[in-house]
Amino acid sequence: MLARMQFAFTVSFHIIFPAFSIGLASYLAVLEALWLWKKDEVYLELFNFWKTIFAVAFGMGVVSGIVMSYQFGTNWSVFSDKAGPIIGPLMGYEVLTAFFLEAGFLGVMLFGLNRVGPRLHFLATAMVAIGTLISATWILSANSWMQTPAGFAVNEAGQFIPVDWWAIIFNPSFPYRLVHMVLAAYLTTALVVGACGAWHLLRKTAPRRARTMFSMAMWMAAIVAPIQIFAGDQHGLNTLEHQPAKVMAMEGHFESHPDGAPLVLFGIPNSAEKRVDYAIEVPKLGSLILKHHLDAPLAGLDTIPEELHPPVAVIFWSFRVMVGIGLAMLGIGLWSLWCRYRGTLDSDPWLHRAAVLMGPAGFVAVLAGWITTEVGRQPYTVYGHLLTANSVAPIEAPAVSASLLAFIIVYFFVFGAGTFYILRLMARLPRDTMPELDEGPIRTAGVAPGPASPKSHGAHHGL
C-alpha cells in the first residue's frame, strides 16, 4: 500500500505537467503559424509570453518523470523483471524518439528566432509539438498494454515476452486512451489560456492580447469538449468489453441487472453491504448508455470473485468528478458561443469570472480520469495476469514510508514554487504596445520646435 501511495503521489504530480505541455506546445505552434500567415504581431507577442511558461512546465515535467521512473527499479522491481521485456522497449523508444526530438529543438524554439529565421524557427516549434504527441503515444501504449495486454507470451521464468509488437503497441484500448488523453491535454491547456485571458480582460491590463487568447481558448473549449464527451463514451464501451469490473465499479453496479440497469447519478457506495446507499438513479438509462438498449442486461460485481473487486468508492467518485468537469467544459464552451453570437465575448464579466474559476478544472479532470483508470485496474498491474501484490519489491515498509515522506516535503516545496512562478508569469502579461507612443514624443499638430531666440534664451537663464 505504501508503494502504491508513493507511485500515486509522484505520478499525480507528474501528469499535470505533460498534460499542460502537450496542449501548450501545439498552441505555440498555432500561434507562430498565425503570425507567419497574418503578419499580426499580437500572435508573436503571445508566442513569446507562453513559451516562457512552457519552458518552466516542461522542465518540471522532465524532473518529475525521471523521479517517478526510478520507482520501477526500487518499489516495483518484481514488476520490472516480469514485464520489463515489453514495458522497457516502449519506454526506451519514448526517450529515443520523442524526448530527444523535444530536447533537440527546444533550445531553437526558446532562443533561436533571431538566429535561424522565422520559417526554420517555426519548424523547431512544430517539432517540439510533434515530440510531445509522440511521447504521449509511447507512454500511453505502455500503459494501455498493462490495461489490455496483447501480443505476448510467458516464458519459464514467468516473464512477459513479446510475440507480436504490432499487437503490443496497438493493443485493444490504446487508440481510445490516446485520443481521450490528448483531447484532455488540449482542453486543460485551453482552460488555462482562457483563464489567463479572462483574468486580464477583467483587469483591463492588455485588452488586445487578452481578447485574442481568450477567443482562441473558447473556440477550443466549444469545439473539443463535445468531441471529448463522444471519445469518452467510446472509451467507456471499450472498457466495458475488456475490463468489465472497472465499469461495474464506476457505475456502482454491485448487483447484476438482467432487465436493464439504472444510471446511478449519486450515492454512497457501501462495499460491505454491496449496495449504493441514498442512490439517486434513472431507471434503465445505464443500459441505454452502455448497451444502447433500455432493456439490455448488465452484469454486476456479484459475478466476479470479491478478492478481484477494485476499490469501488474511489472509482465511483473519481469518475463522477471527471464527468462533471467535462460537462462544465461543455457548458462554458456553449456559453462562449452564445456570447460570441451576441458580440459580448470580450465584455461579459460573468463569463470571464467563470473562465477564471474553470482555469484549474482541466488538471482536476485529468487526475480524476487517471485515478479512475489506474485504481480501476486493481488488483492487477498487468490486467488479468499479474497481481499488484505479486509485483512489489521485497523491501521494508519503513524504507518506503521514509522516501514517501521525503517526496511529499520536496515535491510540495519545489513544485509548489514552480507552480507559483508560473502563476506569476501568467499575471505579468505585458500591456498592449501603442505604436504612436513608441515612435517618439507626441507633437501637437501644427506646432514644430524651432531654435530659441537670443531673447528667449536670455530670459530662460534669467529665470
> 432 pLDDT band (50/70/90 cuts)?
low
Residue 379 class from Cβ within 10 Å (0-12 exposed, 13-18 middle, 19+ buried)? middle
Cα–Cα distance measured from residue 51 to residue 62, given in angstroms and rounded to the nearest whole number: 16
pTM of the model: 0.86
Q: Are 385 and 153 in contact (CB under 8 A)?
A: no
pLDDT at 253: 87
Helix (H/G/I), strand (E/B), else coil: 140 = helix
Q: Please name the residue that has the C-alpha cell 470571464.
A: 352
pLDDT at 448: 47
Q: Is the pLDDT of residue 1 over 90?
A: no
Q: Are 360 and 199 in contact (CB under 8 A)?
A: no
> 458 pLDDT band (50/70/90 cuts)?
very low
Please provide the DSSP assignment of 282-317 as one string.
Answer: ETTHHHHHHHSSTT--B--GGGS-GGG---HHHHHH
pLDDT tens digits along 360-410: 999 999 999 999 999 999 899 999 899 999 989 888 888 888 888 988 898
> 441 pLDDT band (50/70/90 cuts)?
very low
Q: Is the pLDDT of residue 442 over 70?
A: no
Helix (H/G/I), strand (E/B), else coil: 153 = strand
pLDDT tens digits along 26-62: 999 999 999 989 888 888 889 988 999 998 888 888 8
Contacts of 324 (CB under 8 A, 6+ apart): none
Averaged pLDDT, 423-447: 57
pLDDT at 68: 80
Cα–Cα distance measured from residue 429 to residue 42, given in angstroms and rounded to the nearest whole number: 12
CA distances from 293 to 12, 290, 366 (A): 37, 8, 30
Q: Is the pLDDT of residue 130 over 70?
A: yes
pLDDT at 431: 65
Q: What angle do CA 172, 231, 186 make, to 5 degrees?
A: 110
pLDDT tens digits along 246-296: 988 888 888 888 888 888 888 888 888 888 888 888 888 888 888 888 888
Q: Please name the residue that has the C-alpha cell 492580447.
A: 209
Residue 237 backbone phi and psi in degrees, to 5:
-65, -40
Longest dimension (CA), the chain: 108
Residue 270 backbone phi and psi in degrees, to 5:
-120, 90
> 430 pLDDT band (50/70/90 cuts)?
low
Of 428, 368, 362, 28, nearest to 189 (Cα)? 362
382 phi-psi bin (left φ>0, alpha ψ -120 to 50, beta other): beta
Averaged pLDDT, 219-228: 93
Q: Is the pLDDT of residue 433 over 80?
A: no
Percent of the chain with pLDDT over 70: 93
**How far, in whole angstroms, is CA 48 from its chain's centroid?**
22
Cα–Cα distance measured from residue 70 to residue 73, given in angstroms and rounded to the nearest whole number: 6
Most confident segment among 261-265, 333-337, 412-416 = 333-337
> 453 pLDDT band (50/70/90 cuts)?
very low
pLDDT tens digits along 83-113: 989 998 998 888 888 888 888 898 888 888 8
Q: Is the pLDDT of residue 177 over 50?
A: yes
Query: What is the grid cell recorded at 15?
Result: 501528469
Q: Please name the residue that has the C-alpha cell 501480443.
A: 151
Q: Please name the residue that has the C-alpha cell 527499479.
A: 73
pLDDT tens digits along 227-249: 999 999 999 899 988 999 998 88
**How far, in whole angstroms, is CA 208 from its chain's centroid?**
27
